[in-house]
Amino acid sequence: MFDVVIIGAGIAGSVMAERFASSGKKVLLIERRRHVAGNCYDEVDANGILIHKYGPHLFHTDYPEVWNYLSRFTEWHLYFHRVEAVIDGKPVPIPFNFNTLHKVFPPNLADKLEATLLRNFEYGKKIPILELKKSADTDLQFLADFIYEKIFLHYSEKQWGLSPDKISGAVTARVPVLIGRDDRYFSDRFQAMPRFGYTKLVENMLDHKNIKLLLNTDFHDVMALHDDKIKLFRKRFKGQLIYTGQLDELFDKKFGELPYRSLDMKFMTVDAENFQSAPVVNYPNNYAFTRITEFKNIHPAKSERTTILREIPQDYVAGQNEPYYPIFTDEARAAYEKYSAELARFKNITPVGRLAEYRYYDIDDVIKRALDVFAALNS
């Protein structure tokens, strides 16, 4: 009855569902939650503000094909994301750039550092702080140490629950110095938010006669694996299975649990028109939470009140909170590889997305990946 079964109606599963459905295949899409769009899910709250239920999701991409693909399902609200980090009690723009230099250092020192950075690196480039640290120039080493201590170290320790030597280079690369005065958090060619939100965007994607969506459904209730075969509604299923959930769950955690980092999302209404000077303010030091998002600053709304979100990092515990980030320790990777080898026994199961591939994909990476996987399966 179905050519393709897809587990998970987040971004990865929904793109795969739309692609297969548009190519004439009959798709069954199974989702455990009561809604689509995965962790991009957004909704209008009691203050009339569009909030992101699972934390801030900002869209940005350098892939024209991803931008063009999404543009078929949404209009855009053009938006440049900005983030500030509180350093010694003062919010300053990040990524750390020349404006930040002048906010944290006395004029002479800021001018000197600016000139040294321009002499050593290409204008407009983002230099990861660990690379800056390798510089022979002692002023640049001082700057790298300053940013490491004030922005990276304590934020990352609480975000990941790991000592800095265990945090992957892919994560540290996300904390650069920008050679210039651009306060935007991202420098991608395309930056915008779906005008009516991600939920609406995904609903538009899934509005197709070939897609049957089952919400509130755990895949264990309709599907099982036996040897190298898939059973769907107790019958042998020979079609394609796209899996976007946690790989350990697919194999009943037989090699143990894959670790993820979770967040306690604390939403709050503030009885004031505005709360903070940027859409996101990071608190690397002094607090249990890592950052505060003010959603009105992302999706403009007329309201006398404002909704803010504090994120408090915590370990993931199955059934109690959400698995937001894969953890890239050697042990975690080794465990993932065991599940991955197990999966390779099934010719017709393809893992896609942040959970199933155990990768720190951004939204556009997931879409690119889903489009590429679809193309490969059809070549």
In the complex, the residues that contact ligand UDP under the rule CB under 6 A are: 85, 94, 151-152, 155-156, 159, 171, 174-175, 282, 284
Q: Among residues 24 and 169, whose Cβ is nearest to ligand UDP? A: 169
Q: Among residues 21 and 51, whose Cβ is nearest to ligand UDP? A: 51
CB of 245 to ligand UDP, least distance (A): 19
CB of 363 to ligand UDP, least distance (A): 10
The CA-based dihedral angle spanning residues 104, 299, 369, 362, taken in that order and rounded to the nearest 10 degrees: 20
Q: Where are the alpha helices (DSSP H) in 251-329?
A: none
CB neighbour list of residue 274: distance below 8 Å, 6 or more residues apart: 294, 296, 297, 306
Q: In Å, how far are 171, 242, 345, 372, 376 from 379, measured between CA atoms?
A: 34, 16, 21, 10, 5
CB of 221 to ligand UDP, least distance (A): 31
3-state secondary structure of 223: strand
CB of 156 to ligand UDP, least distance (A): 4
In a 13 Å sphere around the CA of 52, the CA atoms on its Cβ side amount to 27
Q: Among residues 61 and 159, whose Cβ is nearest to ligand UDP? A: 159
Q: Among residues 96 and 121, whose Cβ is nearest to ligand UDP? A: 96
CB of 152 to ligand UDP, least distance (A): 4
* Interatomic CA distance for residues 243 and 229, integer angstroms: 15
> First vs last Cα of the chain: how many Å apart?
23
Q: Among residues 56 and 239, whose Cβ is nearest to ligand UDP? A: 56
CB of 252 to ligand UDP, least distance (A): 29
Q: Among residues 98 and 186, whose Cβ is nearest to ligand UDP? A: 186
Q: In Å, how far are 93, 239, 242 from 235, measured between CA atoms?
A: 57, 12, 18
CB of 31 to ligand UDP, least distance (A): 22
Tokens of 192: 């915008």
Tokens of 260: 């993820």
Q: Among residues 242 and 326, whose Cβ is nearest to ligand UDP? A: 326
* Interatomic CA distance for residues 206 and 204, integer angstroms: 5
| DSSP 8-class letter at 257 | P
Please provide the size of the chain in residues.
379
